[in-house]
Structure 1
Amino acid sequence: MAKQDIEITTADGTARAGLFRAANGATAGVILYMDAFGPRPALDGMAERLAALGYVVLVPDLFYREAPYGPFDAKTAFANEESAARLRALIAGTTQAMTMRDTGAFIDALTKHGVTGPIGTVGYCMGGARALNAAAAYPDRIKAAASFHGGNLAGDNADSPHRHAAEIKARVYVGTAGVDRSFPPEQSARLAEALRAAEVDHVIENYVGMGHGWCVPDHSVYDEKGAERHWKRLETFFGETLGG
């Protein structure tokens, strides 16, 4: 499966993205919101696996406003003071509001490339909250939103996803690391209550024994068994909601 490198015009510039599709005339799309280390071969491989299930998959560079940057080694970047500081600056400088504006352009890009059906989102790490917020921002197109080891899904910030639960019309799946300081038990309870109150069809599942980042193959805490469990859940979830 070939990767197609495309450029997407946004309100703030030009975002590079990878587009992946199987040769099956897929009309349903998926936006994969990256983790903090940016687009790279590990995410390309994950996008290829999703595309093989019957979706057109887009992996946009959320940090495009700061390009060029990196590359970062997902195993060591936060252990190095210089690269850790750079990563924190990139994350802080790319707000949820920016990504939500960009998501309109991402949806337009998928439409341009043949996606006329429903769209799903999936995000990892910093991408988790963005995947959920995208469902709130674009409820007419996004029918499924998944987060894996996403942080601050029910935090104190105004842009925390739980505050926008009432706008979500999609089904939601949240897979949490067994112990994750960025998404502690009190946030999980707060998110669950917000989704229940908003009558959002949702599942929050705790992957006991997994660390933050377990799904992504180049991450220092990658766990093959846990990652395969995540793939089974994601395949079923998108299959039921997007028709893949």
Structure 2
Amino acid sequence: MSDRIDIPTADGAMPALRFLPESGSGPGLVLFQEIFGVTDYVKDRAADLAALGYVVIVPEIYWRLDDPTIDYEREDWLQQAMGLMQQLDWPTTVGDGVSAVAAARADQNVTGPVGVFGFCFGGGLAFNVAASTDVAVLVSYYGSAIPGLLDLADSVTAPSLHHFGRADTFIPGDVVEQVRAAVTRDGVRFETYDGAGHAFDNPNPAFHHAEASAAAWRNTEDFLAAHFPAK
């Protein structure tokens, strides 16, 4: 089940969704959205994580934008989403992410440590947040900003799991290998998936790669169970 909460920031309240496990409490995960916003897909994945025993908080990262809607009836829906992301001020957005982690730590339902999790845009944001504040774990699906944030790699000390598709045209193979080299250390797991493009976990037919999606989720469950157990 989920409810709406407000996350305090220096500029006001950032809205968020909170998904509770069946027990009503557990370790916390802050889940950061793709460029498309807090979509049904993101909510479904938040519910999946809650079913594993985590309290999942999903901040509305586009809350500062005047009109963060996307018209999927138009052919340029992807360009619309890119435009929304480009309106964000990155340092401010990272600050909002740090505020979300602080709110998770203070949440009465969170009874353990707090980790960060993100898809695409959110995967890069999770990486930067993990470099900016102490978190217990990081899971990043094809973090699109990470190639430009590799100077922060030494500051990300939490156990980490990175997923990348080998057929990603947005983050090509040589760049993926640069990321691998920069982030690899004890406690980091790095998984790649043959034939999978960018956003392969998203069920939209334009992106989805069923085999990679299933394998990545199995790897995610295994990683969380080993490094961030909820039960």
Query: What TM-score do the two structures reach when normalised by structure 2?
Result: 0.89
Structure 2 counterpart of 1:163, from 133, 137, 151: 151
In the alignment, does 2:108 pair up with 1:113?
yes
1:217 to 180, 200, 203: 203
SS in 1 for 2:192: strand
Summarize deviations over 1:156-211 as a string: whole Å, max 9, x none. Answer: xxxx1x11111111011111012123222232222222224xx4521221111112
The amino acid across from 2:175 in the alignment is: Q
In the alignment, is the contact (CA less than 8 A) between 1:18 and 1:59 conserved in 2?
A: yes
Q: 1:152 to 1:103 in 2, by over 3 A?
A: closer
SS across alignment from 2:196: coil
Q: Give the 5 Å matches for 1:19-58.
A: 19-58=18-57
- Cα distance in 1 between the residues matched to 2:71 and 2:20: 26
Paired residues of 2:171 and 2:198 also in contact (CA < 8 A): no
Alignment of 1:139-158 (within 5 A): 139=134, 142-155=135-148
Across the two proteins, how many residue pairs are aligned to each other? 229
Q: Structure 2 counterpart of 1:243, which letter?
A: P
Assess, with a 3 A threshold, how the Cα gap between structure 1 residues 200 and 65 changes in structure 2: closer, same or farther. Answer: farther
CA 189–224 in structure 1, closer or farther in 2 if over 3 Å, else same: closer
After alignment, is 21-30 or 168-177 more displaced? 21-30
- Match of 1:105, as an amino acid? S
Q: Which runs of 5+ in 1 are unaligned?
A: none
2:84 alignment counterpart: 90
Q: Which amino acid aligns with 1:208?
A: D
- CA 1:208 to 1:39, structure 2 compared with 1: closer, same or farther past 3 Å? same
Structure 2 unaligned spans of 5+:
none
* 3-state DSSP of counterpart to 2:146: coil
Q: 3-state SS of the aligned residue for 1:187? A: helix
Q: What secondary structure is seen at the aligned counterpart in 1 of 2:56?
A: strand
Q: Cα deviation per residue 1:93-125 (whole Å; 9 max; x = unaligned)?
A: 223312221123212321223324222222111
Change (3 A) 1:84 1:25: closer
| Counterpart position of 2:94 | 100
User: 3-state SS of the aligned residue for 1:154?
Assistant: helix
Distance 1:16 1:171, change over 3 A: same
Per the normalisation by structure 1, the TM-score is: 0.85
Partner of 1:231: 217
CA distance in 1, matches of 2:79, 2:178: 30
Distance in 2, Cα, partners of 1:66 & 1:101: 16
Asked if 1:127 is matched to 2:122, the reply is yes
Matches within 5 A, 1:40-79: 40-73=39-72, 79=75
* Counterpart contact for 2:124–2:140, Cα < 8 Å: yes
The partner residue of 1:175 within 163, 178, 182 is 163
Kindly provide the amino acid, as one letter, of the partner of residue 88 in structure 2: T
TM-superposition CA deviations, 1:7-49 (whole Å, max 9, x none) = 2221233322110011324331111111011112221111111
Cα deviation digits, residues 202-225 of structure 1 (max 9, x gap)? 122111111211112235222333
